Amino acid sequence: MTLRVLYSRHAVERMVLRGISRREVEAAIRSGSKSRQGDRIVAAYRYFEVVYIVMEKRIFVITVKPRW
C-alpha cells in the first residue's frame, strides 16, 4: 500500500535539520507506536516522533521531533 503523505514546510525543515528521510517518516506512520494528541496522531519510532493528521485518504505531517 502506498501512503499519500503531504508534508508541512515546518516538517520538512525539521526532517532536514535532524537527518530524517521521508522513507523513515513513512515507516514511523506505518509501524510506530501511536498515541492521540487531540485530533492529531503521534507515531513514536526509533529516536523520533511524527505528528500528523489524517485527511480523507491522505496523511498530513505537521512536524517531526526527537523522542525524549
pLDDT tens digits for range 24-35: 999 999 999 999
How far apart are the C-alpha atoms of 7 and 24, rounded to whole Å? Answer: 13
For the domain 5-66, what is the CATH superfamily, name and number? RelE-like (3.30.2310.20)
Question: pTM score, two decimals?
Answer: 0.93
Which contacts of 36-41 are long-range, i.e. CB under 8 A and separated by 24 or more positions?
A: none
Residue 1 predicted with pLDDT over 70: no
